[in-house]
Chains A and B, each alone.
Chain A
């Protein structure tokens, strides 16, 4: 065990002087950025390219269209099956003899801690300040559709997972693509699984790691004052390494307990603010509905609100990316469809509940400036968004909105952002590792190599401002969705068969309710 730490410390020690120098001279940052921009810029531009004549990136449309297709194909499963989902999570159908195995609740909570995070806090603020309150409406709509995507991918994740003789399991898109395609006699399954795994590793190192470390540092520095980023990076990397490689379960356990608590607390504070301003809730909903179709002075108008809302939802709940299928596959169930039912609650909690809370508080707080005469929002053309108090966006805007009600909130938000970032990193280290072992095989040394690489990227992410590198990694995250959703289209008849069989047997009373 101590050898692991020694290896990590040596590695960090060898990188640190370089990073510190990089911060001072900025030269290395810029050179890396330049190299990345030169070689990968075309791919990033391609992934986030807008549809001709709009500012709407085709990748967001890809996710939303997928979600709508799955919603229609499965007969609005997210609405018809909602109550059943909650019963499953409560454990009503769990076999008491399976006690001690991973429950539906645990699988859901683990997957949620990977998605609830910066997107719910910073991303919503960005969407509302650019798209206006109406963006919230479209965000909720996209979130509701996204539930069907999660249903599809997580059912497949459980159905085609690998179960090893020692009882451990591995699942995710790479497994269902290979096995599902083989079952349907389709070609290229192995190729797509490899491509997906490569995207997953790169996405895990960026969006699931560097971006999180970077934002966590920015948030801490914003509250306590500026200091070198590598300090945050080394601390975060050390703690993460202790958890993922050192088996320091206590830290993981604390985080896994504190993170849901933070999430619940965040929602409670939001509800409290809404209750204090309950006379404005009607008005705020009015703004959201009107804004959804008129724009309320936002330059993009109706389409601006739509674009921002769809984008936010797609980027926040990860429906269609395929990551959730990895997290959900460890559950103990004889029926894969049950985990699909449970997973469809994820976008609901993440997007429909938490994101909407953030949006409502921002709208009600009045941090976005309104022209008192026209009742329309004042547009800050220079920044390309609505003018705000203190001219801020992102986490700072959310922070300012909540601070209007509770002055201590920014400190709490700092803690929340750091913890959310940390739990997202833990989750993505696992997703990345699963893709890594899929490509290179399982084995302690191989796994350790990935874990060390992962932790080094935390330091880099926190220390350097590597815009193009993070852009590239974001592009990788959404590339996962291209492969995954194509596979879902081909495999959805299998899910349908599972669903029909399950529903028939459920109606026939084959599954006993134990509670």
Chain B
């Protein structure tokens, strides 16, 4: 029996914190369990940019990664480690639903835990938000924390 893995999506919001708390309580119950905290910076390779933005892109990307680590992932990882959990943190660019699913697959995770952010705009009403798409495409159970 291999180790159980849980993937948690964090976005720096309250809902993300609740998702992490839920994952921790599960991990405690399971015992031999690792948690992967994941922060996704929304980004599409098919967006349109000015030449100047392209030139600065690499620098911006580094800054975005650094900020996400500093503000969200690193504190959460440190806290969870202090609480005695086996935990890693990743920050990636892309579509949140795709990335969470990819990480879950790569780690053979038993489930994905995300917080519910609520439906915000017309676009999300029409096409579904990140959570909606994640539920529709995930290959493992998804727990959504309200």
Chain A residues close to B by CB (< 8 Å): 91, 94, 96, 99-107, 109-110, 113-114, 166-170, 243-244, 249, 252-253, 256-257, 259-260, 326-327, 330-332, 426-427, 430-431
Contacts and interface: CB of A to CB of B under 8 A. Distances in A.
Interface centre among B50, B51, B55, B59 (most CB of A within 10 A): B51
B47 interface: yes
Nearest to A103: B45
Given A100-B92, A100-B93, A167-B58, 13 more contacts: A94-B45, A96-B102, A100-B41, A100-B57, A100-B64, A103-B46, A106-B49, A169-B55, A252-B52, A326-B51, A330-B55, A430-B51, A430-B52
Given A99-B43, A99-B94, A110 B48 contact: yes
Given A91-B45, A94-B45, A99-B93, A252 B55 contact: no
A101 B94 CA distance: 11
Interface of B: 41, 43, 45-59, 61-62, 64-65, 92-94, 102
A257 B53 CA distance: 14
Interface class of chain A by DSSP: helix
B59 A168 contact: yes
B48 A168 contact: no
Contacts of B62: 167
B117 to A, nearest CB: 22
Given A91-B45, A100-B64, A330 B50 contact: no
A102 B55 CA distance: 8
Nearest to A433: B52
Nearest to B52: A430
29 contacts: A99-B43, A99-B92, A99-B93, A99-B94, A101-B58, A102-B57, A103-B46, A105-B46, A106-B45, A106-B47, A106-B54, A107-B54, A109-B48, A109-B49, A110-B49, A110-B50, A114-B51, A166-B59, A167-B58, A167-B59, A168-B56, A243-B50, A249-B50, A256-B50, A257-B48, A330-B51, A330-B55, A330-B57, A431-B51
A103 B46 CA distance: 8
Nearest to B56: A168
Contacts of A109: 48-49
B59 A256 contact: no
A252 B54 CA distance: 12
A192 to B, nearest CB: 23
B121 to A, nearest CB: 17
A330 B41 contact: no
B7 to A, nearest CB: 16
Given A252-B50, A252-B53, A100 B61 contact: yes
Contacts of B102: 96
B51 A327 contact: yes
A89 to B, nearest CB: 9
B76 to A, nearest CB: 21
Contact of A101 (B48, B50, B51, B61): B61
A447 B61 CA distance: 23
Given A100-B64, A110-B50, A168 B45 contact: no
Nearest to B61: A100
B43 A100 contact: yes
Contact of B45 (A105, A113, A166, A259): A105
Per CB-CB distance, the 9 closest pairs between chain A and chain B, nearest first, are A100-B93, A103-B45, A330-B54, A256-B48, A167-B58, A430-B51, A99-B93, A167-B59, A100-B61
A244 B55 contact: no
Contacts of B93: 99-100
A244 B52 contact: yes
Contacts of A427: 50-51
A277 B86 CA distance: 67
A96, A100, A104, A244 pick with most chain B CB within 10 angstroms: A100
Contacts of A331: 54
Contact of A168 (B47, B58, B94): B58
Nearest to B43: A100
A170 B55 contact: yes
